[in-house]
Structure 1
Amino acid sequence: MTGSAPQQNQQKRDTTAPGGPGRAYTVRDAVIDFARRVGMTSVFANPGSTELPMFRDFPADFRYVLGLQEAVVVGMADGYAQATGNAALVNLHSAAGVGNAMGNLFTAFRNRTPLVVTAGQQARSILPFDPFLAASQATELPKPYVKWSIEPARAQDVPLAIARAYAIAMQEPRGPVFVSIPVDDWDQPAERVPERALAHTTRPEPAMLANIGAALDACARPVFVVGGAVDRAGAADDVVRLAERHRARVFVAPMTGRCSFPEKHPLFAGFLPAMRERIVELLGGHDLVFAIGAPAFIYHVEGHGPHVPPGAALYQLIDDPNTAAWTPEGMAAVGNVRLGVLDLLERPAPAVERAMPARRAVPPRAMPPAVPGERMSVAYALQTLAEVRDAGTTVVEEAPSSRPVMQAYLPYERPGTFLTMDSGGLGYGMPAAVGVALAKPGERVIALIGDGSSMYSIQAIWSAVQLDLPITFVILNNTRYAALQDFAPVFGFAPTDPVQGTDLPGLDFVTLAAGMGCPGVRVSEAGPLRDTLGRALAGQGPKLVELLVA
């Protein structure tokens, strides 16, 4: 039987389409073509039956990046997208795979990472019968931690859905999006996604920026609070210039997941904790607080009293209107952080130049003592790493209990050289380091991970080995969930009270790494640390160093 006239015309058009002479142009062809055009040629995935047709005739210029568990897949894609600045393409397996990925999908949402997440769905013809492996409410499962979620009504709508998903993921504030694709859609006829150009950033309202600029010029003692959106927007150097112009001290906002300001700069004032009263105390003495690329403010424990010091006015420049909406007081300009800072720098310099504020009082960072035969302190380990590491090496960190020590002994001076999770959820750091290393070919990456954190996505070591990536996994092994034990007094625990479920004896990371093909070494005291780290940061391929710390 011959097809209808529209079908015949479609087949006629398809014979000259990129699918090749004599072959119909399909949904798969259209999606691959669009992904190629926007630079999503690395597919981070864990395979399942409902995804297999997507990868038939896999194009030679694409790369399939296999993760052994879906949390690893999303973590790798997150690190890759943050390092490249472009959305990464993720493929998960139906409902079970999306469920496994949700922890790191939540982190990607908090990180403002652009991801186009696809998941397989059962064939449309059997969906009414609740078949095996079907996602009964596919679009609801990843919510609310995606910006947009869809299962297209027709197979022919899949390419346009992917194109829309990419545009939404890249639009600031960036973030993950989700497309559920029935398994029988890939071979259906489709048309090529038309060429189009979209702006992914918006310039903040000029009148609002003029008000902020006038307030900066008029105040006596400004202080900046900078966050991860500064690094995401490529605005770090511009923020330094703005701080120098206004002689403003600069704090890093609580729970910031990226580099925000060079930590050896004379104006750098330190890191704000996620506690309201302590933030107000540290910002005291300033009459203007300017939050740049950061919420004002992220809290971790209940607090009371004002959000800013008495007599201080709060201003904000942020890429996220939702964040601006819950900012408790003051004035907020919403839009791309770099464009906003550049507009502020276009204003004439203040008529009266302020004196430079006093540098923050920092205790001398002498090498912490190390006692032969005893476990080294985290401070000793990180001070040594700081001395051995090149300043341009990217560190992906997930050692929450050691972060205050890291902030004291392992400073970051260059944009793009530090990543951690904005969410507080574990299992991100090890796979994210794999993604960063893929995005920066030939550059060594350091994954600085706690022993408890590492066990959430330890499979990332296998991916690093298979891809032969220059990653040095540094595991700080204190045999416990130290962050929980340290936090317990906030909830009424006495110093000697046991905290259930926080001891982690018996983990052997060198053996775990060897089982996945990664060479490793354990350091139990300070003596060989420097030489061991030096060797682990040199050469090719992944390596693991397990540090037994006090």
Structure 2
Amino acid sequence: MATVRDVTFDLLRRHGLTTMFANPGSTEIPLLTDLPDDLNFILALHEGSVIGMATGWAIANEQPALAILHTTAGLGNAVGAIATARLNRAPMVILVGQQDRRHLAFEPFLTGHRLDDLARPYPVWTGEPARAQDVPGAVARAWHAARDLRGPAVVIVPMDDWQAPADDLEIPAPARLRRADAVAAETVSELVDLLTGARSPALVVGAGADGERAWAALTALAERLGCPVWQEAFSARAGFPQDHPLFAGFLSPSRAELRKQLAGHDVVVSVGAPVFRQYQYEPGPLVEPGTRLAIVTDDPDEAHRSPVELAVLASPAAVCELLAEQVPARSGDPDAVGRQIHLPAPPEPGVPLRGRDVLAALAARLPRETVLVEETPSSRPDLHALVPARTPLGFLSAAMGGLGFALPAAVGVRMARPDRPVVAVVGDGASLYGIQALWSAAHYRVGVLIVVLANGRYAVMDQLARGHSAGGSPAWPGFEEVSVRGLAHALGCPAVRINNYDQLVRILDDTLPTLADRDEPLVLDVAVEAAPGTYSG
């Protein structure tokens, strides 16, 4: 007789969940022992890396990934990464093990208490099947929830359920679900009128507009309007080609600076981004009086919390396609708003490397189709200024802002998209939160390039402390003794320590031209000087 495990495996195959990212424990043994050959098991050495790799895989594949976690300890270790996956809108089915159902009442060793609450509110859906035969249906429901709500969905499964007979079993979920992507003309009529009557419109784009169709539609709309296009602050993905003449740069997370940037625009429409992402609190309005705000998004939460005159809840790509057809083309040549990117000159011999020197060297050499995964808070302003995203999925970062995303996410992206070169740019402090992912990269021969900007400290925190008060002194020490190269070697991953510019460009010139074909990871542990100043987002 077929078991619950057999039926669930068939369901996983039907929904394309045949690659599973996991760090197993004893409660997952009945599920994972003697896996069929067509199910691909990927081991990560920490649960944060499990979810981080699955997040990168899901974003790059644009379909749900499958992750498996071990009861309380595994789910608890992964909560931060699950929160990041939710804000990055990465669809994911997470199976969480639980002790044997037959003696849960006695609270045996490794019993998970209130597992349904442990990661709340970050899963988009959580299921705890009442009986073993309900497990396949819960997994199917989780797949639909992850796909439609674009986030992690959790199913908690007692370990004995997998071997239960699959009799009296029904799947309370559709085998196939079709979605309507069309947008009616009346849906955008108010937005058409708003833009048609604008004297000086502007667009703001965000992660929700990252895709080939949305990029094409936004480019057509911006050119029809002849208006500047801004990228939202702290965006996890690029929503517009950043080498386009109409790309104006990145919005500030400061209200005062934001008002200056958008001053003079009477209509601002945000596409695939909230209105507007902030950081430290500042009093005052978001925009100057007289500026009318609208938003286009497929995320209800994003629409509901945006203080706008008009919100359109629909596919950004479909809406912008209609707008580009219906909004009259503006006469005259648009203002020259495109950024001029000027790469800094190489440092003089003997001068310590700065983060921007490394980023400039990368910018001059990165293949156009590179996926750049970022987690270097103190150098992010320089990265945005020097390294434009030129293709969809060209830039990826953690929407949550917590550390530990970039290393595993880069590995997951490259696994899902072996046709794209993948480069992670990571601070040494950030790398320590997800360093275990280097073992998975090496073991599974994932050809990512990881550039670690190593200044031996939490530089962004030092900058924030100095900005908090005149001469502010951080309470935390540096960690110059840590060797990322040594840690990489200990995890079986090739790594090189780089101490000067000539060595850096030599290795980049050797590595980047063939990065798309690379089947082995490489870590560049680059010694850089901590830059002074205050973090600007």
Q: Percent identity?
A: 38
Q: What pairs up with 1:171-210 in 2 under 5 angstroms?
A: 171-172=148-149, 174-190=150-166, 191=169, 193=171, 196-199=175-178, 206-210=185-189
Alpha-carbon distance, 1:205 to partner: 6.7
Deviation (angstroms), 1:375? 1.5
The structure 2 residue matched to 1:244, chosen from 214, 223, 233, is 223
User: Offset of 1:187 from its aligned partner?
Assistant: 1.1
Distance 1:520 1:248, change over 3 A: same
Residue type at the aligned position of 1:305: G
Contact 2:367 2:421 in 1 (8 A): no
Report matched runs for 1:138-537 at 5 Å.
138-172=115-149, 174-190=150-166, 191=169, 193=171, 196-199=175-178, 206-231=185-210, 234-347=213-326, 349-350=327-328, 352-360=330-338, 362=340, 365-441=342-418, 443-492=420-469, 494-495=470-471, 497-501=472-476, 503-537=478-512
- Relative to structure 1, the CA distance from residue 200 to residue 168 in structure 2 (aligned partners, 3 Å threshold; closer, same or farther) is farther
**Alpha-carbon distance in 2 for matches of 1:521, 1:232:** 34
Task: Compare 222-231 and 128-137 and name the one that shifted more.
Answer: 128-137
Letter of the aligned partner of 1:313 in structure 2? R
Indicate how the Cα distance of structure 1 residues 528 and 56 shifts in structure 2: closer, same or farther if over 3 A, else same.
Answer: closer
Q: Check 1:133–1:203 CA distance in 2 against 1; reply closer, same or farther (3 A cut).
A: farther
1:407 counterpart SS class: helix
SS for the counterpart of 1:372 is coil
Number of the residue aligned with 2:77: 100
Aligned-pair Cα RMSD in Å: 1.8
One-letter identity of the residue aligned with 1:340: V
Quick one: distance in 1 between partners of 2:486 and 2:339? 44
Question: Displacement of 1:360 after TM fit?
Answer: 4.7
Q: How many Å separate the matches in 2 of 1:536 and 1:518?
A: 16
Residue 243 of structure 1 and its aligned partner are, at CA, apart by: 0.9
Q: 1:439 to 1:418 in 2, by over 3 A?
A: same
Aligned in 2, Cα 1:44/1:76: closer, same or farther, shift over 3 Å?
A: same
- For residue 490 of structure 1, report the CA deviation from its aligned partner: 4.2
The Cα offsets for residues 28-47 of structure 1, whole Å up to 9 and x where unpaired, read as 11211111111111001011
* Structure 1 residue 520 displacement after superposition: 1.4
User: Counterparts of 1:31 and 1:303 in 2: how far apart (Å)?
Assistant: 51
Aligned counterpart, 2:528 = 549
3-state SS of the aligned residue for 2:364? helix
Q: Look up the match of 2:535.
A: none
The answer to whether the 8 A contact 1:77-1:435 is kept is yes
Whole-Å separation in 2 of the counterparts to 1:223 and 1:387? 30
Partners in 1 of 2:184 and 2:350 — Cα distance? 61
Q: Does 1:115 align with 2:100?
A: no
Question: Out of 34, 54, 70, which is 2:47 matched to?
Answer: 70
Q: Are the equivalent residues in 2 in contact too, given 1:523–1:529 (CA < 8 A)?
A: yes
The Cα shift of 1:129 comes to 1.2
Call closer, same or farther: CA 1:452–1:234 in 2, change over 3 Å.
farther
Q: Helix, strand or coil: the match of 1:264?
A: coil
Does the 8 Å contact 2:451/2:526 carry over to 1? yes
Is the deviation greater in 510-519 or in 41-50?
510-519
Q: Which moved more, 1:525-534 or 1:103-112?
A: 525-534
Stretch deviating more after TM superposition (69-78 or 207-216): 207-216
Counting matched residue pairs gives: 522
TM-score normalised to structure 2 length:
0.94
Using the alignment, how far apart are the partners of 1:267 and 1:291 within structure 2?
Answer: 15
Superposed CA offset, 1:426-459 (max 9, x none):
0010000110010012543111110000000101
CA distance in 2, matches of 1:183, 1:532: 49
Range 462-471 or range 233-242, more displaced: 233-242
Q: Deviations over 1:12-61 (max 9, x none)?
A: xxxxxxxxxxxx12211121111111111100101111111112331211
- 28-37 or 90-99, which deviates more: 28-37
Distance in 2, Cα, partners of 1:211 & 1:483: 43
The residue that corresponds to 2:8 in the other structure is 31
Cα pair 2:249 2:339 within 8 Å, conserved: no
| Counterpart Cα distance in 2 of 1:463 and 1:43 | 13
Matched residue of 1:504: which SS?
coil
Conservation of the 8 A alpha-carbon contact between 1:388 and 1:530: no
Structure 1 position 476, deviation (Å) = 0.4
Cα gap change, 1:64/1:391 in structure 2, threshold over 3 Å: closer, same or farther?
Answer: same
What is the CA distance between 1:372 and its match in structure 2?
A: 1.4
The residue number in structure 1 matching 2:533 is none
How far is 1:153 from its partner?
0.6
For each residue in 1:199-256, what CA deviation from the matched residue of structure 2 results, as whole angstroms up to 9, or x when unmatched? 4566567534110111111111110000000015841121111111111200000111
State the shift of 1:124 in Å.
1.1
Bigger Rg, structure 1 or 2: 1
Q: Does structure 1 conserve the Cα–Cα contact (< 8 Å) formed by 2:269 and 2:294? A: yes
CA contact (8 A) 2:134 2:170 kept: no
SS of aligned partner of 1:303 = coil
Q: What residue is the counterpart of 1:18 in the other structure?
A: none
Unmatched tracts of structure 1, length 5 or more: 1-23
SS in 2 for 1:422: coil
Is 1:34–1:163's contact at 8 Å kept on the other side of the alignment?
Answer: yes
Aligned mates of 2:213, 2:490 — CA distance in 1? 39
Q: Write the distance in 2 (CA, Å) between the matches of 1:507 and 1:247.
A: 50
Report SS of the residue matched to 1:528: helix
| TM-score after normalising by structure 1 | 0.91
Q: Secondary structure at the match of 2:188?
A: helix
1:370 maps to a residue whose letter is P
What is the letter of the counterpart of residue 336 of structure 2?
Answer: A
